[in-house]
């Protein structure tokens, strides 16, 4: 429990330091990348199936993040 709290505190300070350097509208969509990471970790660690709908949804997220963050 304490380890989880410590990681949360560290990530909060890291997030604030990122927001000082970059625009929120550019950085916030990048959090959607976590959906992709979870998809692959779920497949590798828990042998969860990756369906066609999951892949299409993931592709939509990637394209959306790319469009938003592109300068």
Answer yes or no: pTM beyond 0.85.
Answer: no
Mean pLDDT of 12-36: 87
**27-46: pLDDT as tens digits:** 888 788 888 888 999 999 99
Domain residue ranges in the chain: 23-71
Alpha carbon distance 35, 63 (integer Å): 13
Has residue 68 got a pLDDT over 70? Answer: yes
Alpha carbon distance 29, 60 (integer Å): 13
b/e sequence 52-64, b meaning 16+ C-beta within 10 Å: eeeeeebeebeee
Has residue 71 got a pLDDT over 80? Answer: no
Is the C-alpha dihedral spanning 7, 12, 16, 21 positive or negative? Answer: positive
Tell me what the pLDDT averaged over the chain comes to. Answer: 89
Has residue 66 got a pLDDT over 90? Answer: no
């Amino acid at each position: 429990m304490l380890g989880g709290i410590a990681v949360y505190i560290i990530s909060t300070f890291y997030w604030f330091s990122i927001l000082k350097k970059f625009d929120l509208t550019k950085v916030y969509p990048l959090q959607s990348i976590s959906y992709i990471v979870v998809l692959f970790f779920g497949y590798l660690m828990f042998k969860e199936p990756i369906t066609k709908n999951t892949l299409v949804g993931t592709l939509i997220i990637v394209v959306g993040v790319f469009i938003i963050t592109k300068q």
